[in-house]
């Protein structure tokens, strides 16, 4: 984008701060994840120099190369794309967070590949709008998946993630994700405290509904 990555980051952080303040929340209660898919390692390094620590990637092989290239930087890596079974080993090896678990088969494979080292932070992706173009478990099936994932060694179940359909009512959809998140709190356990939702165009609505992580790409790095 014309203003450059550091100034774009400042602008997004200011948007988050204003949205949080408008709803009686502290800005630091919302973690900004810079979505760096298709962007080069140099752009990620520039964002890090501007104070950004959390980065989101959609494609396992592309991300692995960048993660290895930037191994000397203290970054936190979030996998936010659809998970193919044959990529679970790569994802479990390289990422700190996985936002898009929507099947028990995938959860088990990730757990099996994370036997060593710290637990992998995972979120259950919910398809709140029943959008056939989006991944995610149906809202009424989310509780069963949460229950089934408990006890999987190597995973730390943290909360929910949602991606909305573009034509939908973001404010209403995010409120429904929050209601589901709250309703699953007892099942989720002590670490159930993360709600990942909101992107460049609607992060204010997500923060208003209680998002603790927002995933922003275009407003930071420009169009893909």
Q: 102 and 125 in contact (C-beta within 8 Å)?
A: yes
Q: Read off the pLDDT of each residue in 34-41 and give the average, rounded to a whole number.
A: 97
3-state helix, strand, coil in the chain (%, to 5): 45, 20, 40
* pTM passes above 0.85: yes
Does residue 186 surpass a pLDDT of 90? yes
To the nearest 10 degrees (0 to 180), the angle between helices 60-69 and 41-49 is 60
Beta bridge partners of 55: 34, 77
Does residue 179 surpass a pLDDT of 90? yes
pLDDT, the chain, mean: 95
Q: What is the pLDDT of residues 46-67, one digit of tens each?
A: 999 999 999 999 999 999 999 9
DSSP state of 103: S
Q: What is the pLDDT of residues 116-167, one digit of tens each?
A: 889 999 999 999 999 888 899 999 999 999 999 998 999 999 999 999 977 5
């Amino acid at each position: 984008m014309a203003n450059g990555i550091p100034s774009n980051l400042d602008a997004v952080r200011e948007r988050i701060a204003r949205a949080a303040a408008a709803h009686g929340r502290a800005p630091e209660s919302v973690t900004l994840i810079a979505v760096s898919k298709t962007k080069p390692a140099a752009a990620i390094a520039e964002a890090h120099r501007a104070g950004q620590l959390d980065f989101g990637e959609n494609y396992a092989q592309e991300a692995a190369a960048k993660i290895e290239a930037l191994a000397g930087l203290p970054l936190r890596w979030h996998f936010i794309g659809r998970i193919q079974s044959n990529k679970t080993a790569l994802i479990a090896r390289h990422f700190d967070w996985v936002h898009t678990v929507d099947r028990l088969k995938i959860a088990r494979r990730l757990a099996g590949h994370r036997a060593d080292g710290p637990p992998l932070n995972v979120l259950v992706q919910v398809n709140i709008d029943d959008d056939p173009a989006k991944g995610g478990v149906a809202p009424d099936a989310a509780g069963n998946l949460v229950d089934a994932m408990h006890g999987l060694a190597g995973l730390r179940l943290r909360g929910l993630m949602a991606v909305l359909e573009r034509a939908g009512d973001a404010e209403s959809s995010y409120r429904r994700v929050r209601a589901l998140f709250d309703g699953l709190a007892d099942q989720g356990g002590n670490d159930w405290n993360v709600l990942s939702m909101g992107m460049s165009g609607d992060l204010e609505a997500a923060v208003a509904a209680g998002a603790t992580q927002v995933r922003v790409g275009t407003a930071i790095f420009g169009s893909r």
